[in-house]
Amino acid sequence: MDATAASITLADVGKVYPDGTVAVDDFSLEVRAGELAVLIGASGSGKSTILRMINRLIEPTRGTITIDGRDVLKQDPVQLRRQIGYVIQNVGLFPHQTVRANVGTVARLLGWDRKRINQRADELLDIVGLDPARYGKRYPHELSGGQRQRVGVARALAADPLVLLMDEPFSAVDPIVRARLQEEFLRLQATVRKTIVLVTHDIDEAVRMGDRIAVLAEGGRLLQYATPAELLSRPASAEVRDFIGADRGIRRLAVTPVRDVMSPYTGPADGLPTVDAVATLHDALAVMLTSDATTVLVTEDGHPIGQVTRTAVFDTPVPETRI
Ligand SMILES: Nc1ncnc2c1ncn2[C@@H]1O[C@H](COP(=O)(O)OP(=O)(O)OP(=O)(O)O)[C@@H](O)[C@H]1O
Ligand SMILES: [Mg+2]
């Protein structure tokens, strides 16, 4: 296992707020080390409550939460939070501190010396695509929304946390910036491989970002926990199907690898359009449509390894679940 990531386990976790609101009734989930789990569900379904119980900004009223097997409820909450990156919707940067100081927050709390803090802050700014020489001395109000969001991510990563919690981190920026930030974040995650729990109410974001998606209903009721492709092709109930929407068939194409429906290559390959082995059904279909072909060749390192037919693209079952 990657030493910089840790698994998270929630077992029979519940939260009843002092006024009697049962925000989360009985919630269990396992997030593997290095994976990005998405929590999605209607407003008020308990997503933020669950997230904030992991770093104990909210104390659970029942159940256990462990990070890498260690019970978070038995740790000092302040120490715990320093090991957990937390990114929220409006980023929550300190307005009167420079970008560099904001990124260095946790390192400062951990008592690092100034030189090391600044070095680390600049390294992180670089990683999130902000030139430290240009942006390090600015204040948050001198940045765009997307840039502020990147500073928030840099700050959350600065002390090399085991776990990253993100509550609708991309929702305050416009759709184009959001898509770019999501892409950048996924590239970053491919390198840092943190264990991440990300809350969103945007199914496209969930499908794009998640290794696994947890669909929640009121009271933190877990309707399904599955990979994006599984969720879209086999929603566990009518409730889930309604939630993910009528265009799940199209979304499914974008998350299903051609490898899943590829048949042995029967040749000859002359003139057939090709897609790479890492392509999705969406890519394969796009190639078919633009080249007016009914078969595409799947290649790896330039060699054919199989083929995908139009029938295979459309016949991959998207079963209607009945309950
Ligand atoms: N401090 C509180 N006291 C009482 N009830 C609360 C408190 N905080 C949240 N709640 C309630 O708990 C439930 C879950 O809230 P939570 O913020 O976890 O939902 P959410 O899924 O994050 O929603 P959203 O998508 O709108 O952010 C809601 O019914 C909410 O009103
Ligand atoms: Mg919320």
For the stretch 213-245, pLDDT in tens is: 999 999 999 999 999 988 988 899 999 998 887
The pLDDT of residue 245 is: 79
Nearest-angstrom CA–CA distance, 1 and 4: 9
State the Cα torsion 168-172-176-179 to the nearest 10°.
-20
Residue 26 CA to ligand 1 centre (angstroms): 15
Evaluate if residue 39 carries a pLDDT over 90.
yes
Q: Which CATH superfamily includes the segment(s) 8-251? A: P-loop containing nucleotide triphosphate hydrolases (3.40.50.300)
The pLDDT of residue 323 is: 37
Task: Give the number of whichever ligand sits closest to the CA of residue 17.
Answer: 1
Residue nearest to atom 3 of ligand 1 (CA): 17
Give the predicted TM-score (pTM) of the model: 0.80
Confidence band of 2 (pLDDT split at 50, 70, 90)? very low
Choose the residue to mutate in 10, 13, 24, 45 for probing ligand 1, maximizing ligand atoms within 8 Å of C-beta.
Answer: 45
Residue 44 CA to ligand 1 centre (angstroms): 5
Is residue 254 classed exposed, middle or buried when 0-12, 13-18 and 19+ CB atoms within 10 A define those classes?
middle
Confidence band of 322 (pLDDT split at 50, 70, 90)? very low
Nearest-angstrom CA–CA distance, 136 and 139: 8
Angstrom distances, CA of residue 136 to CA of 60, 127, 142, 316: 38, 13, 11, 50
What is the rounded average pLDDT of the residues 310-321?
65
Residue 189 CA to ligand 1 centre (angstroms): 28
- Indicate if ligand 1 lies below 6 Å from the C-beta of 224: no
Which CATH architecture group holds 256-315?
Answer: Roll (3.10)
* Alpha-carbon 112 to chain mean position: 30
- Indicate if ligand 1 lies below 6 Å from the C-beta of 200: no
Nearest-angstrom CA–CA distance, 16 and 22: 4
160-180 residues labelled b (16+ CB within 10 A) or e (exposed) = ebbbbbbbbbbebbeeebbee
Residue 48 CA to ligand 2 centre (angstroms): 4
Residue 43 CA to ligand 2 centre (angstroms): 7
**Domain ranges, ordered by start, for the chain:** 8-251, 256-315
| Angle made by CA atoms 269, 274, 278, in degrees to the nearest 5 | 130
Q: 127-158, pLDDT tens digit by residue?
A: 888 999 999 999 999 998 788 888 988 888 88
Which atom of ligand 1 is the closest one to the Cα of 201?
25
Contacts of 78 (CB under 8 A, 6+ apart): none
